[in-house]
Amino acid sequence: MDPSQIEHALDRIRAALEAGQVQAAIDSLRELHPVDRAAAFIELNDEEVAALVPELSPRTTARLLSELENQEAVNLAENLATDRLAAALDKMEPDEAADVLGDLDPQRATEVLAEMEAAQGVLPLLSHPDKSAGGRMTTAFIAIPLGASSATVIDLLRQLEPGSDAPYYLYVKDEAGRLVGVIGVRDLLVASPDAKVESFMKPEVIFARTSDDQEVVARMMARYHLAAIPVLDEQGVLQGVITHDDVLDVLEEEATEDLYRLANISSSDLSIDTPLGTSVRRRLPWLYLNALTALFAAWVISNFQALIAQVALLAVFQSVVAGMGGNTAMQGLAVIVRAIALGELEARRAWRTVVKEGAAGLLEGILVGVVVGVGVALW
């Protein structure tokens, strides 16, 4: 949506709130797409939020919590009464509800869980680390037993009425809950009504373990072009599913982490909205380290004071040397960070890569030095 349309919606919302017409403000907010609705919501001030939030329906609140960034979602959750927050979380996908609960104070999360009707679908997700496959998966998937017929499965789908965002795949499990195959919806529709699922399912299933890192799962889904991937425990029992929209979030997080790593920022949750004190505190450690390396470089140069005094022109080119050294190091760092991000850099190849990049930097330094030296001589 055009940003100006969001601004127009904000003007209508604020005008309605000033006139005391809270329902009119909510109607203007609901006219927006859920993503734009979240963008508009974060522009409201504290007084406007306090007037609006208590009157939002559980479904509208759930949509907002789903689209807001982590800290903004937590702020909204903390402004809701326990019963209203529980009702909103019941309307959300289990993995999204678990994300919100995981960011709340443990005591507050426990109180909300006690009020939720769908707590059983969320609790298993809270036991896994946030950045693992278990922490990313959703328990909202469709599993069918061995021996079921195509007609039976279609009747089951009609009863469940899955939404438009439901996974394209159906998973077949045995009596112990172990995953034994996968069925595409298209395969189901063209199968004979009396055909058993084992006759047209695909027994070779690409899967992840609950303990797998989220980045590993994202690479698997990209490599095999999967819209969803099942997540199993160590016994092969189907625990959940990770869908493509979850992977997009993972890729964004990992790209941010790698970009910050390239800029020597250790905390990947920093943003332009991070409070000043927090931002400075998390950036300082690397700046101190950089200052130490700069002081070491200054000490090296100080050992050549006599030579610089005799040939004063050398002082002019210190900035050139420092700048080219930084550029060369940044090129090597970019190549290595990219390899780490794509999983191309294995531990056994680490030293060889470091030696190669060091040799490349040395050779580049010699070649650039020759060219610059000729230029200085002509100067």
Q: What is the 3-state secondary structure (H, E, C) of 239-284?
A: EEEEEHHHHHHHHHHHHHHHHHHHCCCCCCCCCCCCCHHHHHHHHH
Q: What is the mean pLDDT of the chain?
A: 82
pTM: 0.63
Q: In what order do the strands lie in the sheet with 208-209?
A: 208-209, 228-232, 238-243
Residues 112 and 85: their CA atoms lie apart, in Å, by 7
Tell me what pLDDT residue 182 has: 92
Residue 237: beta bridge partners? 178
- C-alpha to C-alpha distance for 287 and 281, rounded to whole angstroms: 10
**What's residue 201's pLDDT?**
92
Q: What is the pLDDT of residues 210-245, one digit of tens each?
A: 999 888 888 888 888 888 899 999 999 999 898 887
pLDDT at 2 (0 to 100): 62
pLDDT at 263 over 70: no
Look at residue 167 and tell me whether its pLDDT is greater than 70: no
The closest alpha carbon to 10, from 23, 24, 29, belongs to: 29
Residues with Cβ within 8 Å of residue 368, at least 6 apart in sequence: 324
Ranges of CATH 3.10.580.10 domains, the chain: 143-245
* Residues 6+ positions from 167 with CB-CB distance below 8 Å: 141, 142, 227, 228, 241, 243
Which class would CATH give 3-131? Answer: mainly alpha
What angle, rounded to 10 degrees, do the helices at 70-78 and 94-103 form?
80
Q: How far apart are CA 342 and CA 224, in angstroms?
A: 15
The pLDDT value recorded for residue 267 is 57
- Gap between the Cα atoms of 169 and 163, Å rounded: 13
pLDDT tens digits for 27-56? Answer: 888 888 888 888 888 888 888 888 888 888
308 or 229: which leads in pLDDT: 229
Both tokens of residue 198?
A: 């084992």
> Can you tell me the distance from the alpha carbon of 97 to that of 230, in angstroms, rounded to the nearest whole number?
19
Distant-in-sequence contacts of 37-40, Cβ < 8 A, 24+ apart: 37/63, 37/64, 37/67, 38/64, 38/67, 38/68, 38/72, 39/6, 40/6, 40/9, 40/10, 40/13
Q: Which pLDDT belongs to residue 49? A: 85
Q: Which CATH number fits domain 143-245: 3.10.580.10, 3.30.300.30, 3.40.50.280, 3.30.1330.30?
A: 3.10.580.10
